[in-house]
Amino acid sequence: MKMNFILKKKVKILVCLFNFFVLSMQPVIAQTPFLAATANKSTIGLNEQLQITYTFNGAGRSFQGPDLREFNILSGPNQSSNMQYINGQFTQSISFTYYLQARNVGNYKIGPASIDSEGKRIASNVVQITVVKGAAQQQKKSNDEESILSDKNIFAKAILSKSNLMKGEGALLTFKLYSNVNLVDFAIPKMPNYDGFWNQDIQLPQALERNTEVIDGQRYTVWEIKKLVLFPQQTGLLTVQPMEIECIARVKVNAQRSNDPFSIFNDPFFGMGGAKDIKYAFKSDPIKIRVSDLPGNPPPGFSGAVGQLNFEAKLDKNSTKANEAISLKLKISGSGNLKLADFPTIEFPNDLESYDPKLSENFKASTSGVNGTKSIEYLIIPRHEGEYEIPAFTFSYFDLGKKQYISKTAGPYTIQVGKGSGNYTSASAGPTEKSEFRMIGNDIRYIKIQEPNFNQGLNSFYGSPLFVTLSLCPFLLFGGIFFWQQQQNKLAGNSALFKKKNATSVARKRLTAARKLLERNQDSPVMEEIHKALMGYIGDKFSLPLSEMSKEKAASLLEEQKVSSDLIQQYLKNIDDCEMARYGGLGGGISAASVYASSEKVISAIEGGLKA
């Protein structure tokens, strides 16, 4: 009897050691990249919707979906990014979701999808689906697990540094996760919607830090899972929607003795019950933010910049030669909503050629706000000798510390241009020698001194169709100029109409700027310019200020104009890709070049549909 007891005890110890070894290997195994396919149902009715999701646990690109010829694709692949905290490590994953509907009854195997990672092609598992007539049997879900966990065990808080803000003023938003049970995994399937705000993420460490807090006598482990700076772009009572979170908690459950030899971990011999992993989903509370407007009567040059800012302008030289380049550089620095601060408009003299400016930005978000610099550089080439003046220009912003508008003026700048090499070195024409005319060729000849014969061919030209046409040309030209001038006056008096007429032109200029950044492999600024082009185009086309623009508003306006749903979905996908790249970097098969090409086609197609 005693020997049996000792033997039984040794077996238990050996199994415990084996289990410990397996569990210790889990972090190593979890690091292996894999693409997992999951379906929300294994059996569906013929008219039911099936959701299948492919989740990759690393940085992948060039996702290739499965063969879905036996299904109707209702939507997808819809891409999303998740943040996870697994075994003390902070990781990100990419998901691609399809919504399908079967065409026929039967048993189907959905083949593997694949994705590129670190030079290797990784394939997913196969998913088996049974399609039956009518509706599939609904699986009954036990409420036992739901009763184990509650918002007393796991919950999230959204904490805002200030709840009363001025338009354009930044505030720190922190999402915290609280748990008083053993939390082994969490994911964020849906981020909050920041409608009415511009936001800048704060980079968190790869391994999230743990803290402890005592609430109502209970001690909780606390993680800061997301931090960002919010800048409201419209006034009134704004709402930050909740963050959706899914957790896996390992909790103790009461266990009964069993004859199964592998149930020894639930045996009271070890002084504890069994452990069970339970999935628990919840949301943070929404946040209300009251935003007041800035003081009235803003000065000239104010475009919405708010913070504690500096403005500098520098011309690299005041004298040059014709056809030699000079540069004018403008720089905004400091703390505030730098991303939204626009540079003042500069009016260059006609004889100074200016090219599309080069924009550079360097921002960093921290708990103190968004700090950094943005600069713009103009390349200027004078074509004629002489003296030119670039008029003064003003940059204005609202200083949060002083609670007043600040204006800073630069210029005017006087440029002395001397004679240089090239064909255009003088703004005025002087006396020209006869030999100079001979060098030009047959276009201009020297004056002939013999008496001309003005009667030659006169009778054949007078009254001819060509004569009548040339006679009417001045009247037609005058009428065209008058009509054009009336249109310009009409546009000048109606800024909304002017923006609507020039919406496509402005969007194409932004796409041109994006293409130039793309050639320099500056992916993040490229996606920023594309985002401005897409949102700005709809805003100008429908006379909406940028502060009132959102993806949902754009989709609603396009639907009202009978734009095709496929085109609207592609427009929204491009917006999502831009926002994902801006805040989370490129990945998941997204490339700046493909988004640029798609956005160019989308704007052209929408413009064609609106004109039709």
| 328, pLDDT greater than 90 | yes
Q: In this predicted structure, what is the pLDDT of residue 390?
A: 93
Closest CA to 166 of 286, 307, 309, 300: 307
**Higher pLDDT, residue 568 or 583:** 568
Position 206, amino acid: Q
Mean pLDDT of 149-171: 90
User: Quick one: CA dihedral 469, 474, 479, 483, positive or negative?
Assistant: positive
Is the separation of the CB atoms in 253 and 238 below 8 Å?
no
**Higher pLDDT, residue 499 or 7:** 499
Token duo for residue 53 = 């999701």
Closest CA to 168 of 403, 377, 337, 289: 337
Q: In this predicted structure, what is the pLDDT of residue 91?
A: 65
Structure confidence by residue, pLDDT tens digits, 351-403: 888 888 888 989 888 888 899 999 999 999 898 889 999 999 999 999 988 99
Please report the beta strands in 337-412, taking only residues with DSSP state E, as ranges in sequence order.
352-354, 358-366, 369-382, 386-390, 393-399, 404-410
The reported pTM is 0.47
Q: How confident is residue 431, by pLDDT bands cut at 50, 70 and 90?
A: very low
**Higher pLDDT, residue 433 or 524:** 524
| 256, pLDDT greater than 70 | no
Structure confidence by residue, pLDDT tens digits, 101-121: 888 888 888 989 988 887 788
Percent of the chain scoring above 70 in pLDDT? 75
Residue with tokens 């743990």: 210
Q: Which range, of 393-397, 402-406, 534-538, averages the lowest pLDDT?
A: 534-538
For the chain, how many residues are written?
612
Within 10 Å of residue 94's Cβ, how many Cβ atoms? 25
User: Quick one: CA dihedral 416, 417, 419, 420, positive or negative?
Assistant: positive
Q: Which range, of 71-85, 97-111, 168-182, averages the lowest pLDDT?
A: 71-85
- Angle at CA 19, nearest 5°, toward 17 and 25? 105
Q: How confident is residue 169, by pLDDT bands cut at 50, 70 and 90?
A: very high
Structure confidence by residue, pLDDT tens digits, 455-508: 554 456 666 777 777 778 887 887 778 777 776 656 544 555 667 777 888 888
Spatial distance between the Cα atoms of 487 and 111, rounded to a whole number of angstroms = 60
Q: Tell me what the pLDDT averaged over the chain comes to.
A: 78
Mean pLDDT of 60-78: 82
Q: In this predicted structure, what is the pLDDT of residue 249?
A: 87
Q: Which range, of 19-23, 134-138, 545-549, 569-573, averages the lowest pLDDT?
A: 19-23
| 174, pLDDT greater than 90 | yes
Alpha carbon of residue 482 to chain centroid? 44
Spatial distance between the Cα atoms of 500 and 491, rounded to a whole number of angstroms = 10
Percent of the chain scoring above 90 in pLDDT? 21
Is the separation of the CB atoms in 188 and 156 below 8 Å?
no
- The kind and range of the H/E element at 573 are helix 565-584
Structure confidence by residue, pLDDT tens digits, 308-322: 999 999 999 999 998
Find residue 160's DSSP bridge partners.
Answer: 173
How many Å is the maximal CA-CA distance in the chain?
Answer: 144
